[in-house]
Amino acid sequence: MTEASDTVVDVRNDVLEPQDRPVPEGWFDRVRHGEAWRSMFRHPHLDTPRGRALQSFSNVFLHVYPVKVPARVLKVRYSWRLGYIASVLFGVLLATGVYLMFFYTPSVTSAYGDMQQLRTGVGFGQLIRNVHRWSAHLMVLVVILHLVRVFFAGAYKRPRQFNWVLGIVLLAITLGFSFTGYLLPWDQLSYWAVTVGTNLVNYIPVLGDTLRDLLIGGEQIGQATLLRFYALHVAVLPVSLALVLMIHIWRVRKDGFAVKRGGVGAFAEESTDVTPIASVTAVTNVAADGRRVRLLGVVDRESVTAEERLTDDTVFTWPHMLVRHVVVGLGTVAVVLTLGVLFAAPLRGLANPNETPEPAKAPWYFVGLQELLSHFDPLVAGIFVPAGALITLIALPYIDRNPATESRYRKVAITIFSIVLLVALVLTVLGALFRGPGWEFIAPWQHSYLEL
């Protein structure tokens, strides 16, 4: 019984509440020490290492973060904060999207009018719409850049294969958001971009027609399509994105940040799946089959060797990481707000099934595909190329078995990826900037037909 009595906690002297806490000064301090405050926030505000750890543990939002992170994670060059910026943009889109929902009816007779009304009759309505639109474009861009960063860092390799797959799912959902959102204003731009986009589905062998009809709810884009896209845009996709993002971020913690640790060269913080170098393996548990095992799921640091512990390179998330995230988050909001103030989201004429505007362009992230379509058979350009790219991307971490992460040992992978990236970029720029009516070549300084 002696052991047990050691662990008994004196409730009057709760470990969370230091006995020698200073006498509250001022009204805010008094509120913070009052019963109401302490019933809301489980942790005291303590500027000690223990206090900082407790802040992270006992707060539902902060516990997304690890209590301590390797110092290198703080460097901008680690992630360029792209995943984080994408999350912030998602937050901005949720907030502005809910405002828009108060003024928008998904009906072909009123949707377009609602958009005009937002411009003239609702205080700050146009601003909210602009911010929503520009954040959406930016989010697609940032997610793509995030993917590129993860690729070049080799961060998709063991043990992060599955998180890469989740990332592709997130990219697909992000594109789904943009595409369904594009239809909602029900103007000429929406109508024809979605007509062209959904007709691609027709080319899928056998099932194509049925799938397209299922997607647009009939044979023609109409009321059923608008309602379907709206339901996807405001309910199905947000919930899906939130769910997958949750798992994605949880896996970032569980798989460990993809940074090199102080001199030892280990590639993971928490993971035990990687065997960095022989000497590290030697000091940890070796299972019968030669692979290292974790004793218990909760023993995170099993993989951290004695050598590493000597040179502890971790810092507290609170405040080091948090302050950076607050700054980057505010910066992101500042950027989309500025864009929203400076540039109005486009609104062309009311959707007219009897008149195709010239040229009818898809949104910029699909315009490379449209460019490809003007050169090749749609079965090739519209189905085989995108489906092939998607499948290759998903399978990439399982195909690329090379464990190296430094670029000099990954010449083949990097070369192929760079070429594909370059081709996609050229096609996109060509389609977005250098195409005019009839998809004829036209220089952007003569006339720009770029539509956002």
Contacted entry of another protein, ligand HEM, none for residue 29, CB cut-off 5 to 8 Å set by kind: none
Least Cβ distance, residue 152 to ligand HEM (angstroms): 11
Instruction: Give the C-alpha separation, 63 to 53, whole Å.
Output: 10
3-state DSSP assignment of residue 442 = coil
DSSP 383-418: IIHHHHHHHHHHHHHHH------SGGG-HHHHHHHH
Residues between 223 and 262 with contacts to another protein, criterion CB under 8 A = 224
d(CA 228, CA 213): 11
- Partner touching 28 among another protein, ligand HEM, none, CB below 5 to 8 Å by kind: none
- 8 Å CB contact between 135 and 85: no
Q: Do 258 and 155 meet the contact criterion of CB atoms below 8 Å apart?
A: yes
**At closest approach, how far in Å is the CB of 175 from another protein?**
18
Closest contact distance (angstroms) between CB of 79 and ligand HEM is 3
Residues 6+ apart with CB under 8 A from 284: 272, 292, 302, 303, 305
Looking at residues 69 to 98 of the shown chain, list those that interact with ligand HEM (rule: CB under 6 A).
79, 81-84, 86-87, 90
The nearer residue to ligand HEM, 112 or 164, going by C-beta atoms, is 164
Task: Work out which of 121, 277, 358, 392 binds another protein, going by CB under 8 A.
Answer: 358
Residue carrying structure tokens 């009906």: 107
x-or-dash string of contact with ligand HEM, 250-289, rule CB under 6 A: --x----xx-------------------------------
Candidates 437, 443, 448, 450: give the one binding another protein (CB under 8 A).
437
Smallest gap from Cβ 336 to ligand HEM, in A, equals 15
Reading the block at residue 191, the tokens are 């109508």
How many whole angstroms separate alpha carbon 405 and alpha carbon 397? 12
The residue count for binding another protein (CB under 8 A) is 34
**Nearer Cβ to ligand HEM (63/348):** 63
Look at phi and psi of residue 399 and say left if phi exceeds 0, alpha if psi is from -120 to 50, else beta.
Answer: alpha
Q: Which of residues 69, 100, 127, 171 is near ligand HEM by CB under 6 A?
A: 171
Q: Which residue has the tokens 């647009």?
A: 216
The alpha carbon torsion through 294, 255, 419, 89 (nearest 10 deg) reads 170
> What is the residue whose two structure tokens read 């023993």?
299
Answer yes or no whether residue 164 interacts with another protein by CB under 8 A. Answer: no
Could you say which of 370, 393, 397, 432 contacts another protein (CB under 8 A)? 370
Binding site for ligand HEM (CB under 6 A): 79, 81-84, 86-87, 90, 143, 146-147, 150, 155-156, 160, 163-164, 167-168, 170-171, 174, 245, 248-249, 252, 257-258
